[in-house]
């Protein structure tokens, strides 16, 4: 449940823990792992090389039955 993002109180209630500190002690490693994974994903997104934009030609047909090419 910790890996799905459920809070410690939700996990503790599901496991019938009387105190959230019990859940925190047992699942602290899962929380740290989730934080590390989220940090790695964010880091990759921030520093990845942006994709180069390619010019695309789109044909547009008007009502007068002529066509034009528009470059983006």
User: How does pLDDT run across 3-57, given as a tens digit for each residue?
Assistant: 777 888 898 899 999 998 888 887 776 667 778 888 999 988 888 877 766 667 7
Which H or E run includes 71? strand 67-71
Return the pLDDT at 70: 53
20 or 64, which is more confident?
20
34 touches 22 (CB < 8 A): no
36 or 59, which is more confident?
36
Question: Hey, where are the domains in the chain?
Answer: 2-71
């Amino acid at each position: 449940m910790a890996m799905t993002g459920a809070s410690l109180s939700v996990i503790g209630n599901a496991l019938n823990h009387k105190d959230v500190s019990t859940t925190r002690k047992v699942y602290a490693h899962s929380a740290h792992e989730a934080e590390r994974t989220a940090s790695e994903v964010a880091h990759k997104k921030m520093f990845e090389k942006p994709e180069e934009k390619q010019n695309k030609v789109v044909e547009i047909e008007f009502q007068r039955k002529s066509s034009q090419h528009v470059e983006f």
